[in-house]
Amino acid sequence: GYMHGPLELPGPEAGSLDQRVRLFTQQVADELGRGIAANPADWHMLQKLWLTEPPVREA
């Protein structure tokens, strides 16, 4: 699957910087969701990669 874009950045009329960041982050998540739903086999690396966690090394 591919990401489709470009995604439109919300302008100042969309609210504060915090609100615009939240809106844009949601747009990215929605686009990823559409791509995953359309091509789930292409997104296997979003699953846990290792069956067991590697041992933690003491510092």
Express each pLDDT in 4-48 by its tens digit.
778 999 999 999 999 999 999 999 999 989 888 988 887 766 666
48 within domain boundaries: yes
Backbone angles phi, psi at 36, to 5 degrees: -65, -45
- The structural domain count of the chain equals 1
1 within domain boundaries: no
14 within domain boundaries: yes
CA distance 15 to 1: 32
pLDDT band for position 55 (50/70/90)? confident
- pLDDT at position 28, please? 92
- pLDDT at position 3, please? 65
Query: Domain residues for 31?
Result: 6-59
CA distance 48 to 20: 31
CB 6 within 8 A of CB 19: no
pTM: 0.65
